[in-house]
Structure 1
Amino acid sequence: MDRLAPQARPMTLPFGLGVLHVVVPMALLALLVVPLFLVPTSPGRRLRIAAWCRALAAFALVLALAGLYLETPRPAAGSCLIAGIDVSASVGRAAADGAREFLGRMVPALAPGDVLGSIAFAGQAHVQAYPTGGRRAVEDFIPAADEELDELDTQESDLAVVLTRAASLCPAGKQAALLLFTDGNETAGSLLAEATLVEPRIPVFPVVPTAAAFPPAVIRRLLAPALAPARSVLPFETVLENRAAAPVSGALALSVNGRAMLPLPVDLPPGPSVVATPFRVPARGEYLVEARLLLPAALPAPGPVTSAISVTRPLHVLVVTEHDAPAVATALASRGLEVETIPPARLAARASALRDYHAVVLDGVARAELDDAALAAVTGWVAGGGALVATGGGHLFGDAGYVGSPLAQVLPVELASQSPEPAEREPIALYLLIDRSNSMGYASGDLPYGEKMEYAKRAALAVLDQLAPQDLVAAIAFDAQPYEIGPLLPAGTSHAALATKIARLRYGGGTDFKDALDIARRNLVASGRRVRHVILLTDGDTNRHAEDHVELTARLAADAITVTTIRIGDDTVNLELLQTISRATGGAFHHVEHLEALPQLMISDTRRLIDTAPYRDGAAPHIGELGPMLSGIRESELPPVARWAVTRARPGAEVRLYVDIAGRRDPVLATWQYELGRVAALPVDFQAGAAAWPQWQGFARLWTQLVLWAAPPGLPGERRLVAEREGEHTVIRLEAAAEEPASLVLRLEEVGDVVLRQTGRRSFGAVVPRLTPGHHPVWLRTGSGPEDPMDLIVPAASTSSGAPLAAVTEEAPAGAPLSAGRRAASRLRGGQSSRSARSAQQRRPTARG
């Protein structure tokens, strides 16, 4: 609505009396009705006086509604000006240098009754110079470049804290004003919210230095886990922001407890970036990590960012397996984890000691190897916060004994039949080549004439019944020439017609299956299906020589078409030729002397093709939902996987890796949270179908990151001490991995005994006088027990490792116009965004009419 109203034009009064302002000019139209109040209803002096009173009251009411006020050039009692100078890491020296230039022009213009002070601020505020009169040196108001600013928490920026502090500094009777030298960014507090609460109201005048004065790139956050196991490799993630319009080159330097790591060159595009720096966590203890962004000497340098990490014992993993040399245990041990391997029969004996392990891995364990008590112990331990990883192919996930067991309830996948349903599996393309030569009518063994042909037709019809509607199928009958019985079409549409034609086949003529094989090859390649198969049914006689089939056999193999050859009859003619074709193409060869077994044999061959179609050559895994277990792993580098167990992800589970089979996503890695614990399932066998994975360079990394994600922050008895600086005090927090007694006492050399009081579940805290930054040996006593030595790291400033990235993205680029919130705060307090020293000193609303 304010934008719709006409802008008021201020009126400058003569003789330096000031400037009149009207907030709502349209309200002045109501003055037109004021003369009506002067019209008396009847004659008489007393009534005329009453009319004038009514008119004056109406006049005053209209002026009040219009928001008329007088702005005088100087307050009668003088001004109190407070310069708030932002010294946060994102601003660097830009605000201080801007304040020096601005105050240098303001100080000579101060009147005898004016006072000037300054506050240095970041996450906290510190009075740099209390407001006094007289002509003081400008440098008295500016924080020095080498001044100790750690107590201000330079990694944060709280504009509200300087407004609150400024309100308490000005003497009574003087008109206060806040000069805010800042880039306008806030990571804590709210200037707008504080401006509505502070009384008396203080006008705010933001002064934004030029963009060139700010560091072009800064570190916003150092993301690192507060608790980490020793020997593990963690990806420290540093959030940087390039506030310039062009890319900026520099180097990221990390140091741990003062020990510098090799700087990492970085090229930062405009905007925020995240740089991951792999770091192998050292031995147990407390560590302070510092990140610095090194820029060319000609550019302003940003400040450092720190984060404290508590390092616990290495991950202790129990691998339960039937393998003598499990690939999973070998991979975990190669990354420095403490791995213990036991056979399934010994798991029940370890049930009471599961609390001593970070994670349990079930590696290809059959249901018969685990008793109910062992399974119940593992699932109860997971529900209480343990970590479980189950892996293995059909030996574990295809074991029907696990259905309905406690393990089935914990897993993030549902156990399914290991023979995919026709509608779910990958469609195949199949050609049936049926010998209808004269020899197919000859007697064979005890069978009379014509029975070989009848059994061949019966077997072909049985194969048709095994196919799904989406499978492609065709048939060719051959004697000396090929005869196409039915083209390659979906079985759902061609089954009936094809079955009728097969049933009508009659024997007669010579034998030559080469042309029939070549026709099938060309049509299968044109189908585009990945799984292409031929069943050649013949009694072996042929009019051609074996060498006539060499080139065709090579083409079939090159086109990935498998050929199963079935030799009918009790003679041995051309056995070697048929064996060669099957062996070269990856198919099977069968010599059937007893024709009663022929239909079942062809059914088995087709079922083998159907059941293993997706698994035969291996399928490429895909990355689904991202997570820390996949950090640094690209989809293109994942090895193919074969013969995985078919499972279904349960509702609420995250499918991290999967294979796509005809639009169905079979999980290769699925995870979820089960009550207080975490569970992962990998339904593949790394000793068989996924045997290529242990040779993959990223195998150990994937497993280590997976166990690290699933494992609890610590084991019972492990604790973490955290110290944060808050003004003149230090806040100490103790976080325990298990329940602790209510009475905890911490002994510090500088303070003495400090009682840690419970502040939450498994958390305790205390406030002590300010401790010096650095390492402090401390001793923790539980009740009347002995003292346990611990380490306490007091950072130079409060850490930002736990802050979300969303808090970073709220900030506006340096040098950009102030955000709407900061502009609103300025208007609310009666100030404005200005670079003029005189405007901040003189423009004061002192009266309202």
Structure 2
Amino acid sequence: MNFTAPLALLLLLTVPYFFWLGQPRRAAGRRWRDWVSLGLRTLIMLLLVLSLAGTQFVRAADELAVVFLVDASDSISPTQAETAESYIRTSLENMTPNDQAAVILFGANALVERPMSGLAELAPVSSVPQALQTDIAEAIRLGMALFPAGSARRLVILSDGTATVGDANEAARLAANSGVEISYVLLGREAAAAEALLTSVSAPTRISQGETFRLDITAESSADMPATLRVLSGGNVVYEEAVQLRRGTNNFAVRLRALEQEFARYRVQLTPTNDTFFQNNELAAYTEITGPPRVLLVANDGTVDDNGVPQPDESPQLLLALEATGLVVDRTTPADLPASLAELSNYASVILVNVNAKNLSPRKMETLQSYVRDLGGGLVAVGGPQSYGMGGYFKTPLEETLPVEMQIKDQERFPSVSIVIVIDRSGSMSALEGGVTKIQLAAEGAVRVVELLNDFDEIAVFPVDTQPDNPIGPLPASEREEAINLIRQIGAGGGGIYVRTGLEAAAAALADSPNQVKHVILLADGADSEQKEGVEPLIASLVEEGVTVTAVSIGDGPDVPWLQQVAQWGNGRFHFTNQAANLPQIFTQETTSIQRTYLIEERFFPSLVSNSPILAGITAVPPLYGYVGTSPKDTAQVVLSSEQGDPVLAAWQYGLGRSVAWTSDATGRWGRDWVQWDGFPAFWAQAVRWTISQERDSNVESVITYTDEQATLTVDARGSSGDFLNNLTMEANVVTPDGSVQNMTLAQVAPGRYEAEFEPETDGAYFIRVAGSDGTEENVVGQTSGWVLGYSPEYREFETNPQLLENIAAVTGGQDLAGLETAVFDHTLPSEATTRPIWTWLTLLAVLLLPVDIAVRRLVITRRDWERAWAVTFGRLQPATVAPTPRTEQVSRLFEAKQRAEKSTTSPSPPTQEAAQPVSTKDKEPARARVNENRTAVQKPPSVTNKPVESAKPGTLAARLLQKKQQQDKET
């Protein structure tokens, strides 16, 4: 027994004084009660003092806890995994009631499959740890954390012993110091079959375009065998050769020529005739092929779009101007724009020429955003009637990347607008697209319309199938929060859309609107638009009231031509899309089109707002004839503006890259004087080159080292003169193979050297963009590089490592338990003494004794009370004696008195007249009165009554009454 607060035991010194103070002072009689009460109080005080001292009970426990550590890395075959699971199940059958067991699965990390439990069974294994590595040390540390206090502790490792990361020996020493025994079961492998693997592939970090370079390849083989060596670049086979592998190490040198400027990724594949693991037959390498800056120009190809509207190619003049300045330009269309960072990383900058957002998928826009923000690429957006707000850029990744917002914040320039959106809520709108229903995408388009409107505008939304369902509005746009909440609650219904019913509801909503511009957007299914009759005259009446009607067909079908006619009847536009994801862009494009304030077509000279390298050497510019209205962002630099203060040329730094917004065009529509201007090529070359960060790459050298699941990025930064650049704000973005981005801030660890660590979780290609600056234009550095995480080290080890397991067991006093399932739960380990607090029980006992003490002092219980309590509780359980005529005690006494009276009538003494009278048995008076009558009936002569009381006949009622009276007189 020990105590957590032993100083409280000093209170025991007050017990003698307490005992002396409470000892009985009264005379003999009831002193025994006082002594019992004093004993109880003393005991209560002792219990409370022991409780305050935190009394604990110390005992030795015969308990054993076992934790099974099961290897689940890639080096463990299914057969080995089954062997380990079977071993554990058999071992659990030998558990005793005092035993507990837990199971941990480990690979690169460790997971608890079964917590500590006394159940002698194992549920099906379901945990899946990371299998790229084997970390026995982490499994040991997690296993030690599961042991309960006071039990003997044993770890059982079931593994092949091939630890690839972590210090297992150090973890074993920690376990030994904690009194934990580690035993093991070696999971043996079958006889090794033929195996060939690639061990390394290296390529130069940077080469010039047109240069011949060499890939150095190393392979290992367990036997002589033929194989095929193949090199792929961008999905194309650039080298293939049949080779002969010899037992041991094989070296190959493959010569390639750098044809194009790009960030090249080469995949080397080895295909042997005999092999066991295919995972170790491929490795990759990166090299940067440098040359003149390479730019990707994205423009329409001159064909018509899905709505039959011609899409002219507006890139010829711009393409010629860029090529004239030495830039290498590749041209593509919005449909062919790469949707992967790997392909976009081959370009220094991307130029969008009057591109509509609906022609770019959400994934392509997100890739462009990541290309600029995370890889440091450049982006130049050239305007036109299909760009910016007119092209549906609002609330898209493009708007986030560009230095301008799609909304014009000067509301006084806008006419008041009333928009009614009729949304098809038929059953087809419940179909999923990219994990989202079509009706949700349509509702999001309506939400963006609300966000674009000014406070004095009105909005109404009618979801329609056979009739309008929960119509919304008309509401002022100032109540946009309420409108947005209602719109996002729209759900799909059934059947098709009744077009006339929907347009009638729209006409009723616009009938009382005083706004200058009234517009209806009809979204209908191209294959399920019903109730066409009467639509044409209805639209004609709307047009007479100044209302325009736009039709949007979602999906192809027989009703598409009719919806095109609806747009013609309503003097509106027709939009066709097979992807509901385009609806938000279409709706925002419609909103900006009907407002018309976003499209400014007038002759003006751009005004210089701030100096920029884009205008280096340019002192005067020609006039422009139009642009798309936007608003500059807070941190953007406006270089040129219009007469109304709208940005015409704006630029900013976005993440690690740069973007430029030109809100006019580069054709003869608005820029006819510019395309004939001598400074046109220089202007565009400087605008594009400003977004290119490749010129700053030579000042940075970045290296990645990978050790124990940890990748370390080391960057050395130097100035143009070769001196170290210190105190830079250095950041890096790591783009993983699945496209996610991890941002890191590098800390300076040495002169000009910066480092940061990250944990790659999957094998594959990683893009790394590094950028640093001290806040000035002179000391700005950046670099884009690549790094490949090869296959798991598990596929390089083909032999078990029993020596590691033996060393671990020797450190902790363990043993090899292979085939000894019954020995796993042997109680051969010393158990630690455990302490269990008992102060709570002591306090409870003191509380229970307190009412007993009060009862001893205050409660007096006689023998008669005990008899009655016994009769009430246990007496009822005894069988009752059946009498012929049951009588009560009082009745019995009355009968005895009657018998005595009858006897007295026959005595020789002369009876009195009253005594001669018989006692009536029918008398109903109380028993006391009857007793008095009996006394009167048996009175003696005067000479008899003067005799002493002792002469009364014993056993009579009178004798008993006299005896009781005498006893009371003695007590008084």
TM-score by length of 1: 0.27
TM-score by length of 2: 0.24
Considering only CA atoms, is the larger Rg found in Structure 1 or Structure 2? 2
